Chain A
Amino acid sequence: MNINFTLIAQAIAFSTLIWFTVKFVWPPLLNAIEKRQKEISDGLAAAHEGKMSLELAAKKNEETLSEVKQKSTEIIGQAEKRASEIVEEARNNAKSEAERILVGAKAEIAQEVNRAKESLRAQVSVLAVTGAEKILAKEIDKTTHADMLRRLAEEL
């Protein structure tokens, strides 16, 4: 147990070894580890961000869906309303058309009746005159009673 030159030799070896470690061993290890740590934390942050944006997108999706649903119900309601309107209109049109046709027919019928009446009246008056002629041939002079006969025919 004596102190000798070994001490100096070992001290030189020691300081060289420390210098070597400080210069060449520690920095690359530190570099690699810190880089990996950064990569991991970046990755975690990115994952978090992705999750957030996914949530946001899902929310937006839901909103859009409900909006679309509401719009579609609105459109369907409008269409139904429009359809019933069209049906009502058609019905009204048909009714008025029918009335119009009915009125026309009635008028025609009345005309027809009038015409028939007219011709009937003429024929009856002729018939009556002929009948009366036949009856009165014997006693009435056609010319003297013509005025009375004409008035009779007008009354029919």
Chain B
Amino acid sequence: MAGSTYNTPSDYIGHHLAFNEVSFGDHPFWTMHVDSVVMAIFLGLVSMGLIWLVARKATAGVPTKTQAFIELLFGFIDDQVKTSFHGDRHAFVAPAALTVFVWVLMMNAMDFLPIDIMATISNQLFHVEHWRNVPTSDINTTFALALGIWFLMIFFTIKVRGFSGWMHELFCSPFGTSVWVWPANFMFNLIEYVSKPLSHSLRLFGNMYAGEVIFLLLGMWAATGVAGTIFGAILGVGWSIFHILIVVLQAFIFMMLTVVYLSMAHEGH
């Protein structure tokens, strides 16, 4: 469908929201969104690789401008982690927060790429029909991140308090140690444990997905003629500018929640 024309708006939107899938099993689970995975890994390599290149040659003397920029980022993350985590943050939590912030920010920022131009490039140059640029508008990506943090949270809880301590916390808080309130305690904690990764991932996914859909809806103004195209372009610029805020803010919120969840795992309630 290279250089395709769309018959209906839903056709246009549906085409742009379709993933580049590969299947290697009968069950629908055994499919992979190649675009999400490739974009995510590519962005992760580029951003963290760049920071690594700078960090490798970091000097304590007068820093270069690039190093100063990376240090600014470092200081920002370090300050944020310092306010909510009171332990040896340099061992794991702070670098994890840096990874989360930079990576999510980069993946979110792919929303700024003009969708139809990118679609044309991927069609004409790489001969792929479906290619989505924003990995964080794929629920699998956000859920993978949130679940990763979730497992880390459980890991640190057990590491700090021991398995019995974790069990004690599951059954004996928040209502007390009496056997009669064990089910209620457990239900409470279960809900908390389920809602954490859900809210963590769906917040990011919802924001980025909605942003992408709005770009698509604005793109459809082009179907109404020249005046509509110009109008749509102006609206698109407006939404892009507003989207800068959303992209950074969502990356920041995702990072902060990561830090808070990991801090809660390290400290008692």
Contacts and interface: CB of A to CB of B under 8 A. Distances in A.
A10 B144 contact: yes
Nearest to B41: A13
B148 interface: yes
B33 A6 contact: yes
B71 to A, nearest CB: 6
> Do most interface residues of chain A lie in helix, strand or loop, or is the interface mixed?
helix
Contacts of B48: 17, 20-21, 25
Contact of B37 (A10, A31, A36): A10
A21 B147 CA distance: 19
A97 B41 CA distance: 122
A9 interface: yes
Nearest to A8: B144
Contacts of A4: 28-33, 140
A10 B135 contact: yes
Interface string B75-86: 100000000000
> Do most interface residues of chain B lie in helix, strand or loop, or is the interface mixed?
helix
Interface in A13-53: 13-15, 17-18, 20-22, 24-33, 35-36, 39
Nearest to A26: B95
A30 B90 contact: yes
Contact of A13 (B37, B58, B75): B37
B56 interface: yes
Contacts of A26: 55, 90, 94-95, 98
Nearest to A2: B28
B37 A6 contact: yes
Contacts of B239: none
Contacts of B103: 14, 17
Interface in B51-108: 51-52, 55-56, 58-61, 63, 67, 70-71, 74-75, 90-92, 94-96, 98-100, 103
Nearest to A20: B48
A28 B58 contact: yes
Contacts of B228: none
Interface of B: 24, 28-33, 36-37, 40-41, 44, 48, 51-52, 55-56, 58-61, 63, 67, 70-71, 74-75, 90-92, 94-96, 98-100, 103, 135, 138-141, 143-145, 147-148
10 contacts: A4-B28, A6-B138, A6-B141, A17-B48, A24-B52, A26-B95, A31-B60, A32-B55, A32-B63, A35-B60
Given A8-B144, A11-B145, 5 more contacts: A7-B141, A9-B144, A20-B52, A24-B52, A29-B58
